[in-house]
Amino acid sequence: MADLRPIGVPFVAPGPTGVAIRDRLGHLTTEDEQVLRLIGAHLGSLAARDLAARCRDGLGHCTDTWAARKRELTAASSSRWGGAITKATHDQWALSWRCQLTHIQSLEAGIKTIRHRLSQPLGHKGTRRAPGGYRSKKEWFQKTRRLHVLEERLERERADREAGVVHVVRGGRRLARHRHNLGAAQLTESQWRERWEAERWFLAADGESGKRYGNETIRVTPDGEVSIKLPAPLAGLANARHGRYVLAAKVSFPHRGEQWADRVEANRAVAYRIHLDVERGRWYLTASWQIPPARTIPIDAALAEGVIGVDTNADHLAAWRLDVHGNPIGRPRHFPYRLGGSAEHRDAQVRHALSRLLNWAKSCHVAAVAIEDLDFAADKTREKHGRKKRFRQLISGMPTGRLRARLTSMADQTGISIIAVDPAYTSKWGAQHWQKPLTGKNRKATRHDAASIAIGRRAQGHPIRRRTTPPPAHRSDEQGHRTVQARPDAPGREGPRPRTPGPRTRSVPPDAASTRATRTPKTVRDVRSDRVWVQDSLLLTG
C-alpha cells in the first residue's frame, strides 16, 4: 500500500487587510469627460516613461534614481502626482518580478515531467505519484522537440532574472495581442484603440492621513463632491481655487458608506482611482483604504455551533451542515455559478454564490465555514496530465485562491470564520464512507456532497470515516458498536445501541418478560421429539 502524504492541520483563515468600494460617476458633462480624458492621457504618458526608466535600472535601482525620477515627474505634473506614479511603477515592477519567478518554476516543473516520461518505455503505465511513458513514437518525438523549446525558454528567463530584466505591457498583454487578431476578439480597430488608450490612462492617487478629507490629489467630500488637482500643463482648465477641477457628478457609496464617511471626516488616508468602462461608456470612482487585520478567534470557539463544509467545483459549491459531532444535518445545498465570459461576469457570479452561502450559514446560526486550501499551481501544466485537455481546463478554471480570499473578505462583516483544511483525499474518502449511506429513495447524494462532509469533519478534527469496523471476535451487542460519531468523552459512546420496538423485535418492549425459554424451539431435534410425544399420546388414548 502506498504511503499517504501527511495531512495539514486546519486553521482559521486571516481576515482582509484592506477595503475597496466603488460608485458610478453619473451625470458627467461633456466638459467633465474631456478634462478626465486629458488628465488620464497626460499622466499615462508620464507613467509609461517612468516604468520604462525603472525597467532600465533593473537591479541597480536605488533611492537616488527614485528621487531623480520623481523630480522629473514633479516638473511635468505635481509633487503628489509624481509620488503616486513612482509608487505605482514600483508595485508593477515588483509584481512582474514575482510573476517571472513563478514562470521559471512552471518551466522547471514541465521540463522535469517531460524528461521523466521520455525515460520511461513506450506505453508504460504511470502511477498516481508519477506519470508513465508516452503512447507512441510520434508523441515521443514531438515531446523531445517540446523539451528543447522549454529549455530555451528557461535559459532565456534565467538570464533575464540574473540581469534584472522584466517584461511589462502597460494596458495588458492580452489586449495588445488582440490588435493582431481583431476578428477573433470581435473588435474593430477604433474599438480596440479606445480600449487600449483607456487602459493606459493614469488617474489614481494615494491617500495621506492628516490632509483634508484624507487625499489632496483626488478629494471627495463627505457630501460626495469630487475635485481633482490638475497637473501643471493643464492648470488652465481649473474651475475652482488652487488649480482644482470640480466634477459635476457626485458619488455616494451604498456599500460601507458609513465607514468611508467616518474616515473622510477624520482626515484619514483614502486612495481613489477613476477609470472608464469602455463597453458601458461609464465612469467609476473606486475608494480603498487599509484596515487593521481582525483578530482570529480560536478554532474551537468557531466550531462551537457546528460547521458548514464546502466543496469547490468548476460550476457550483456543494455545502452540507454538520453538528458538533460531525453528523450531517438536513439536506445538502448547491450554489451554482458560471465562469464563462468576462472577468467581471465571473467575479459577479462568484460573489453571488458566496452571498447565498453566507446567508444560509447565518440562517443556520453557524459560526464557521470550512473550505479546502486548494492550490493547483503545480497541477495545471500540460506536461503532467498529457492528453487530458478537458481536465486541464477544468482545474485551470476553478476559482481556488481567489474564491477563498473573496469568501474571507465577505465573511469578515458577518462574524463567520473561514477554516481552511488540507484537501488531500477529501473527495475519495468522502465518496467511500459517506456517499452510499446518505443515498436513499428520495435523496441521491453526489460525490461532491460527500466531499463537503469530509471537509467539515476534517475541520472539526474528526476522522473522515463514518464508523470503525466492529471487533471480529464478537459482533453482537456484548462488546458494542464502536463509533466515531461522538466525542471520546460522550457517555455511552462504547455502549450497545438501544433496541427499539419494530419488526425485528416482534414489537415487544425491551422490558417484557418473554424469553427464549418460553418459545417453541426451532431445532430439528426438538421438533422430532415433539412429534414422537404426540404419537405416543394417541396410542395411549386409543
Edge-to-edge strands of the sheet including 204-205? 18-24, 282-290, 271-277, 204-205
Beta bridge partners of residue 362, listed in sequence order: none
pLDDT digits (tens, 9 = 90+) for 450-475: 999 999 999 999 998 876 555 555 55
pLDDT digits (tens, 9 = 90+) for 238-265: 999 989 999 999 999 988 899 999 999 9
Cell output for 226: 469630487
- Rounded to whole angstroms, the Cα distance separating 395 from 526 reads 68
Whether residue 375 is found in the same domain as residue 314: yes
Mean pLDDT of all residues in 37-61: 94
Mean pLDDT of all residues in 47-60: 93
Query: In this structure, what are the phi and psi dihedrals at residue 80, rounded to the nearest 5 degrees?
Result: -70, -40
Residue at 337 is within a domain: yes
Whether residue 194 is found in the same domain as residue 49: yes
C-alpha dihedral sign at 116, 117, 119, 124: positive
Whether the per-residue pLDDT at 30 is higher than 80: the answer is yes
Residue at 392 is within a domain: yes
Whether the per-residue pLDDT at 373 is higher than 90: the answer is no
Give the pLDDT confidence score for residue 506 in this predicted structure: 46
Give the pLDDT confidence score for residue 369 in this predicted structure: 92
Whether the per-residue pLDDT at 386 is higher than 70: the answer is no
What is the CA 116 to chain-centroid distance, rounded? 32
- Rounded to whole angstroms, the Cα distance separating 412 from 394 reads 29
Give the pLDDT confidence score for residue 527 in this predicted structure: 43
Residue type, 294: A
CATH number at residue 454: 3.30.420.140
Cell output for 364: 443556520
Give the pLDDT confidence score for residue 515 in this predicted structure: 47
pLDDT digits (tens, 9 = 90+) for 333-352: 999 888 777 777 777 888 88
Average pLDDT value for the chain: 83
User: Grid coordinates 480597430 are at which residue?
Assistant: 189
What single DSSP character describes residue 469? Answer: P
What is the CA 492 to chain-centroid distance, rounded? 41
> In whole angstroms, how far apart are CA 383 and each of 142, 378, 433, 524?
12, 11, 33, 70
Please say which residue of 407, 440, 460 terminates a domain.
Answer: 460
Give the pLDDT confidence score for residue 396 in this predicted structure: 56
pLDDT digits (tens, 9 = 90+) for 188-240: 999 999 999 999 999 999 999 999 999 999 999 999 999 999 999 999 999 99
Bigger pLDDT: 415 vs 32 = 32
C-alpha dihedral sign at 460, 462, 463, 467: negative
Determine the length of the chain. 542
Give the pLDDT confidence score for residue 407 in this predicted structure: 82
Q: Which domain holds residue 358?
A: 297-460
Please say which residue of 274, 290, 306 terminates a domain.
Answer: 290
Residue at 475 is within a domain: no
Whether residue 350 is found in the same domain as residue 204: no
Whether residue 61 is found in the same domain as residue 186: yes
DSSP assignment of 108-157 equals HHHHHHHHHHHHSPTT----SSS----SSHHHHHHHHHHHHHHHHHHHHH
Residue at 468 is within a domain: no
Whether residue 84 is found in the same domain as residue 232: yes
Whether residue 261 is found in the same domain as residue 313: no
At residue 382 the predicted structure's pLDDT band, cuts being 50, 70 and 90, is: low
Mean pLDDT of all residues in 319-330: 92
Give the pLDDT confidence score for residue 493 in this predicted structure: 52
Residue at 246 is within a domain: yes
Residue at 8 is within a domain: no
Mean pLDDT of all residues in 417-433: 89
Cell output for 475: 459482533
Give the pLDDT confidence score for residue 114 in this predicted structure: 92
Cβ pair 402, 337 in contact under 8 A: no
Mean pLDDT of all residues in 508-532: 47
Whether the per-residue pLDDT at 29 is higher than 60: the answer is yes
Whether residue 374 is found in the same domain as residue 257: no
Please say which residue of 443, 460, 477 terminates a domain.
Answer: 460
Residue at 267 is within a domain: yes
Whether residue 444 is found in the same domain as residue 308: yes
Bigger pLDDT: 486 vs 32 = 32
Whether residue 359 is found in the same domain as residue 247: no
pLDDT digits (tens, 9 = 90+) for 277-322: 998 899 999 999 998 877 778 898 899 999 999 998 878 889 999 9
- Identify which of 91, 94, 87, 293 has the alpha carbon closest to the alpha carbon of residue 208: 87
Cβ pair 479, 471 in contact under 8 A: yes
Whether residue 301 is found in the same domain as residue 286: no
Mean pLDDT of all residues in 387-416: 68
Mean pLDDT of all residues in 499-512: 47
- Identify which of 81, 58, 57, 62 has the alpha carbon closest to the alpha carbon of residue 70: 81
Whether the per-residue pLDDT at 476 is higher than 60: the answer is no
Whether residue 279 is found in the same domain as residue 131: yes
Residue at 133 is within a domain: yes
What is the CA 3 to chain-centroid distance, rounded? 29
- pLDDT over 70, % of the chain: 80
Q: Which of 176-190, 273-287, 384-398 has the lowest mean pLDDT?
A: 384-398
| Domain count of the fold of the chain | 2
At residue 408 the predicted structure's pLDDT band, cuts being 50, 70 and 90, is: confident
At residue 517 the predicted structure's pLDDT band, cuts being 50, 70 and 90, is: very low
Q: Which of 158-172, 191-205, 309-323, 406-420 has the lowest mean pLDDT?
A: 406-420
- Rounded to whole angstroms, the Cα distance separating 204 from 215 reads 11
Whether residue 136 is found in the same domain as residue 284: yes
User: Grid coordinates 512552471 are at which residue?
Assistant: 106
pLDDT digits (tens, 9 = 90+) for 64-85: 999 999 999 999 999 999 999 9
- Rounded to whole angstroms, the Cα distance separating 120 from 145 reads 17
Torsion (CA) 335, 341, 345, 350 in degrees, nearest 10: 30
Whether the per-residue pLDDT at 509 is higher than 80: the answer is no
